[in-house]
Amino acid sequence: MIHLLVGNTGAGKSTYANKLKLNNSGVIFTLDKWNKILFFPDKKEEDGLDWFLERIERAELVMQDLILQLENSGVDSILDVGLSKFVHREKYRLFAKENNIEVRTHFLNIPRSIRKERILKRNLEKEDTFEFEVSEDNFEFMENWFETLTEGELQNAIIIEK
């Protein structure tokens, strides 16, 4: 099974992924960690959003190969990879369908004020799920970048609102 974790910045996707892993014997794919290790060291100041999106696309091809291996071994894949856009979520739903893998969407529908508080706290405390600091500008960018789930996506989703 593929678990799609969806929620805007600060919703608690990484924390939720760790809890989900305990109950599903799954493997977590955390794109923030991949970015920090694989891409941030090479990033130049002039590199923008397109630079990141291209690298994320390549990383996800590797993830998809690993997801297939895990599925063949009976291990769930827990995707903490952003999924901010409908087209990104749909890519994984189609991948799952093409490979006869069950998909479950988990929507962390957390109010902006709580998410912002969490980000500020995470930036200061740098605990378990901290990968990099989220600036005010980055938080605001993600607020506008995120596309909420459609009615169709919500039909069978697990919705978390706390």
The mean pLDDT value of the chain amounts to 88
Residue 96: CB atoms within 10 A of its CB come to 20
Instruction: Check residue 90 and give its pLDDT.
Output: 97
Superfamily per CATH, domain 2-160: P-loop containing nucleotide triphosphate hydrolases (3.40.50.300)
Would you place residue 130 in the very low, low, confident or very high pLDDT band (cuts 50, 70, 90)? low
Span 134-144, average pLDDT: 78
* pTM beyond 0.85: no
Would you place residue 132 in the very low, low, confident or very high pLDDT band (cuts 50, 70, 90)? low
pLDDT tens across 51-93, in order? Answer: 878 888 889 999 999 999 999 999 999 999 989 999 999 999 9
CB 82 within 8 A of CB 31: yes
Lowest pLDDT segment from 30-39, 65-74, 133-142, 147-156: 133-142
Name the amino acid, one letter, at 101. I
pLDDT tens across 24-53, in order? Answer: 889 999 887 787 788 777 888 888 878 878
Q: Cα–chain-centroid distance for residue 126?
A: 19
Instruction: Check residue 129 and give its pLDDT.
Output: 67
Instruction: Check residue 144 and give its pLDDT.
Output: 85
Instruction: Check residue 149 and give its pLDDT.
Output: 95
Output the CA–CA distances (angstroms, integers) from residue 133 to 32, 96, 124, 161, in the order listed. 11, 32, 9, 24
| CA–CA dist 82, 158 (Å, integer) | 17
